Amino acid sequence: MKVSPRLEHLVLGYLYTELRGSQINDVVRQLTQAGVALYEVRVRTNVGSAGFALSDLDEVYTVCKRNRVKIRFIRREGMPFVLRSLRRRKSMAVGVALFVAILFACQSVIWQVNVTGVDSEDAAAILHVARQTGVFPGAFKQSLPDVTKMQVTLQDRLPSMMWIGVNIVGTKVKIQALKKVEGVQSLEDNPHNIVAARPAVIRKVFATRGSVKVIPGQTVQPGTLLISGSLGDGAKEVPATGTVLAEVWYKSDVEVPLHVAQSVLTGVSVKFDTLQIGSLNLRVWGWRNPDFKAWFDEEQDTTWKLWNFQVPAVWRQVTRYEATKQEVLQSKNSAIQTALTLARQDVLSKPARDRTILGQTVLHTEVAHGKLYATILTRVEEDIGTIAPIPVQPPTPDENKTQS
């Protein structure tokens, strides 16, 4: 069985017919020789069925009449039949068009702009600035500035806010803000040192302010002074700034199952088409809903533009393939590679700045209970500096004598 192309269904029209007569096989052979594409062909003695494009109707009718085979139309698909049906029901067509137009208008306009995280006075100020940037109820979504650009603009025009986040959900714009706490000085603004946050071996030091106290190749422990904010010789203390890149080691204990369930396609598939307008998804073609326990969708989207305006509608052709779970036994080497990847992901997920993987070493492996247990050492280059206050220096003996 071969399924007709979806484009032919939608544009040219498609007919599915029942054939009755003793010469059905001859009809199929003659139509094939004449270059007529037949789909979903089934023949049982004197009864059969076949589908073909609407443009081939005259040829099919002529061959069937010549062989005294009767035709009965079972299914009609495609735009020609849809349009003919709509012409018979003009009021319904107008209603559908009006519904789509209203739906399109509703999904293309911002209806609400909400501000959370601040009091009503600050919220009114944020809404005023947002309106100046083009964000207000009634604005077209296509005319809104980029979210990142919007956040930067609001932050620049509202210096009293410590953070502003913008999120567009459907027809709503949600603005979250956090106001600065006045009178609180950040530790970063006070004179301070930069010390090591963890054991490491120094690789590179870039100091923009302060005095460097370590050299490449030096091993440091947590709390070791890296960049000093005390310049000495009676100079004013400063906030030390800079980057200290060092080699750090992470040990990860990873479990990898050797029996892995994978999804395998069975070869059975169905096709359907949907029209997505904003957040609304309407199925417009292909009504068969197979009972697939698992599946994989292959999607092909078509969008439209009117001049420079992007139409907020997407025609999506979906091919849904049936899938089934199949257990696969992977080798030990493959499991080790998976363990290395998991260890790498574990290290990269930890909070740090300027982190780069230098290498990985498998320290220990063991296979037991259908799993691979591995201990992996990951070598990383990262910024190990952290802010620490400058210790108060005790008075010198000369200062004590002077005070006495």
Residue-wise pLDDT tens digits, 19-65: 998 888 888 889 888 888 888 888 888 899 988 888 888 899 999 99
Q: Which residues contact 382 (CB under 8 A, 6 or more apart)?
A: 245, 246, 248, 352, 353, 354, 355, 356
| Superfamily of 6-83 according to CATH | Metallocarboxypeptidase-like (3.30.70.340)
- Rg for the chain (alpha carbons), in Å? 36
- Asked whether residue 154 carries a pLDDT value surpassing 90, the answer given is no
The whole-number pLDDT of residue 404 equals: 46
Question: For 86-135, how does the pLDDT look when each residue is reduced to its tens digit (9 = 90+)?
Answer: 666 666 666 767 777 776 667 778 888 899 888 888 888 899 988 888 88
Q: Is residue 212 a contact partner of residue 170, using CB atoms and an 8 Å limit?
A: no
Question: Hey, what amino acid is at 98?
Answer: L
Question: For 303-362, how does the pLDDT look when each residue is reduced to its tens digit (9 = 90+)?
Answer: 887 776 777 788 888 898 988 887 888 889 999 999 999 999 988 888 776 789 999 999
Residues of each domain in the chain carrying CATH 3.10.20.310: 112-179
Q: Is residue 237 a contact partner of residue 230, using CB atoms and an 8 Å limit?
A: yes
Residues of each domain in the chain carrying CATH 3.30.70.340: 6-83
Q: Is residue 129 a contact partner of residue 103, using CB atoms and an 8 Å limit?
A: no
Tell the burial category of 169 from Cβ atoms under 10 Å away from its Cβ (0-12, 13-18, 19+): exposed
- Neighbouring CB atoms inside 10 A of 230's CB total 19
CA distance 345 to 242: 27
Q: Is residue 227 a contact partner of residue 244, using CB atoms and an 8 Å limit?
A: yes
231: left (phi over 0), alpha (psi -120 to 50) or beta: alpha
Terminal-to-terminal C-alpha distance of the chain: 107
Q: Which two tokens stand for residue 301?
A: 């989207």
Q: Domain 112-179 belongs to what architecture? A: Roll (3.10)
b/e sequence 37-72, b meaning 16+ C-beta within 10 Å: ebbbbeeeeeebbbbbbbebbeebeebbeebebebe
